[in-house]
A = this chain, B = another copy of it.
Amino acid sequence: MPQGKPEVVPDDGLTTRQRRNRPVFAVHTGVMKGKSTAAFGMALRAWNQGWSVGVFQFVKSAKWRVGEESAFRALGRLHDETGEGGPVEWHKMGEGWSWSRKAGTDEDHAANAREGWAEIKRRLAAETHGFYVLDEFTYPLKWGWIEVADVVEAITNRPGRQHVVITGRDAPAELIEAADLVTEMTKIKHPMDAGQKGQRGIEW
């Protein structure tokens, strides 16, 4: 239910309204695929509020998430044409970040990932978006390409009302500690266990 009672009422000097309206920092982790899917579902609600949606994909495959990307690009065009919902930006590291001069064939993934994060930090400081999806962002953290402490600092101290969702397996403990909402997607059963491979429209 959308408006459950909180389990505790903290003594933090905030009114219920102030507390309610704090922007959310969420982490979707675990081994199952609902992580990104649920983040894009949340982005639908953000779009409907008229918030600017910024998606940043820290993955390689051009095929990956093509369904969500097309749908969100369609929603973004709808906004541009009719004013309905919010604007949408969708950026992919795999093809080279759209704001970057560098070609997408650059093989220095660590530098690419750091460049992506530097841009997100600039946008957080500038309050560019109302809702950020940092898709598969746990991997550059896990591999040591980007410092977790820097991410925690920038997100914790972000100005204004900006919601941030980070997805990916093996979220670092410091990230989970800093987050307001952490969901773990757990596999109970998957078609691949029964020998079924991924299929178009379902897996991407």
Contact = CB atoms under 8 A, between A and B. Distances in A.
Copy tally for this chain in the complex stands at 2
Chain A contact residues: helix, strand, loop or mixed: mixed
Interface residues of A, number: 81
Contacts of A200: 49
Nearest to A49: B201
B45 A196 contact: no
Contacts of A49: 67, 200-201
A151 interface: no
Given A182-B189, A191-B180, A34 B38 contact: yes
Contacts of A189: 176, 179-182
Interface of A: 1-10, 12, 16, 19-22, 24, 28-30, 32-34, 36-42, 44-49, 51, 61, 63-64, 66-68, 70-72, 74-75, 78, 84-85, 130-131, 163, 176, 179-204
